[in-house]
Amino acid sequence: MKKFLEGSQAVARAVKLAKPGVISAYPITPQTHIVEGLAQFVADGELKSEFVNVESEHSAASVVLGAEASGVRSFTATSSQGLILMSEVLFNIAGMRLPVMLVCANRALSAPINIWNDHQDSITLRDSGWIQFYAENHQEAVDFILQGYRIGENPKIMLPVMVCIDGYILTHGMEVVDIPSQEQVDKFLPPYNPPYKLDVDNPLSLGLLGDPAVYMETRYAIQETLNDVLKLIPQVSSEFESIFGRRTLRLVETYKTDDAEIILVAMGSVAGTIKDVIDEERSKGKKVGLLKIVTYRPFPKEEVFSILKQASQVGVIEKAVSLGSDGPLYTEISALFSGEKGSPQISGFVAGLGGRDITKKTIQTVIELVKEKKASCIFMDLNRELLWEEFRV
């Protein structure tokens, strides 16, 4: 049923439809409304779930780890400082092959303390073994959660899933979103039935010591499983389409790339703004397109390569930076074309950190800059008056 909802409330409803047995989270802006909504569902008796209040995000992640280990579907949500406080446990969750679902309301990292949106928090966790989806709008957030549970809990996958939604822009923005019925979701998402779990009648140890004789195989197994996830996503997505009537989860989404000379690359909600700019540029006869990365982990190398190779210039716009290097997405995309003949010229742009608006003007400027000399890491929309530039070596 179509409803006009805040993104956080849409997420809470999607999670409710997935019927997790355990929910644990610690309040943090801008994620708070998600678990606030879920707490209300539990308090009102609309969702039969154990809502565990904890003293920190590290504990919240530990609670959902334990719940999944004992064979119970679980959910947690966090942002920014909360996510990196969880980080130790997040690596454990992936290493123990527990399909936890986490919604990250993307927010900048301290210092300086900043509650607004960028992608630095979840990008920092890219190497943890979690599957990562980046949503452009509320509908994608809802759909990615349902499909994320289905993919992560596949007995051949058993990996955790992080659905990343832009803080404020999606969490606090209101939009029309189609919330599926319980019947539809029950048809799509079977009860969680893991191949192994903690059970007093059949004792088992999980999270064992892995000495040098066995550790590398555990990492290789995750690497290969993530490659399998790339194959599974289109299958799950088409099954989702047959029940819900729409296809939202993809490896990548293309917008007017077929004949594009310039292709911009981006993730998350900024894709909407970029599509508007592309429409305007097209009306002026400029051949510009967008490649939206939906699945960032596993990284869909083949799809990204085959779409971008036809362009003359590529501009990667990202809300994160590996300080001292370049933007992580720029680095990965550049690596795909290493040694390839006839590669496009690829430039990297860091924009919108700490919630700075990425406006149409920002995108138009990027389109102008990609035609110039290749640049790996241009910070957009800087106010140079705020910089003490006399302090340079």
Partner 1 sequence: MFSILAAKAGSSKDNKTGSWCSVKKPKFLQKNCIGCGLCKLVCPEACIEGKEKNTYCPDYDYCKGCGLCAYICPKKDIEMVPATEEK
Task: CB nearer to partner 1: give 67 or 293.
Answer: 67
Of 130, 121, 167, nearest to 328 by C-alpha is 121
- The strand pair at 101-106 and 74-78 is best described as parallel
Distances (CA, A) of 35 to 51, 134, 215, 228: 9, 19, 36, 31
Task: CB nearer to partner 1: give 228 or 303.
Answer: 228
Of 14, 5, 9, nearest to 248 by C-alpha is 14
Tell the smallest beta-carbon distance from residue 230 to partner 1 (Å).
14
Beta carbons within 10 angstroms of residue 368's beta carbon? 9
List Cβ<8 Å contacts ≥24 apart for 54-58: 54/24, 54/25, 54/26, 55/26, 56/26, 56/85, 57/25, 57/26, 57/28, 57/81, 57/82, 57/83, 57/85, 57/86, 58/85, 58/86, 58/88, 58/89
- Would you state the structure tokens that stand for residue 341, as one six-digit string? 């003949």
Task: CB nearer to partner 1: give 196 or 379.
Answer: 196
Task: CB nearer to partner 1: give 153 or 318.
Answer: 153
Question: Would you put residue 199 in left (φ > 0), alpha (ψ -120 to 50) or beta?
Answer: beta
Residues in contact with partner 1 by CB under 8 A are: 96-97, 158, 196, 203-206, 208, 210, 214, 217-218, 220-221, 224-225, 228
The tally of CA atoms less than 13 A away on the side-chain side of residue 35 is 28
Task: CB nearer to partner 1: give 203 or 324.
Answer: 203
384: exposed, middle or buried (Cβ count in 10 Å: 0-12, 13-18, 19+): exposed
Residue given tokens 């799809």 in the structure block: 303
Tell the smallest beta-carbon distance from residue 94 to partner 1 (Å).
12
Tell the smallest beta-carbon distance from residue 197 to partner 1 (Å).
9
198: exposed, middle or buried (Cβ count in 10 Å: 0-12, 13-18, 19+): middle
Tell the smallest beta-carbon distance from residue 350 to partner 1 (Å).
36
Tell the smallest beta-carbon distance from residue 38 to partner 1 (Å).
30
Tell the smallest beta-carbon distance from residue 299 to partner 1 (Å).
18
Task: CB nearer to partner 1: give 202 or 383.
Answer: 202
Task: CB nearer to partner 1: give 224 or 259.
Answer: 224
**Phi, psi (deg, nearest 5) at residue 293:** -85, 115
**Does residue 41 sit in helix, strand or coil?**
helix
Tell the smallest beta-carbon distance from residue 66 to partner 1 (Å).
15
Tell the smallest beta-carbon distance from residue 224 to partner 1 (Å).
4
Task: CB nearer to partner 1: give 113 or 216.
Answer: 216
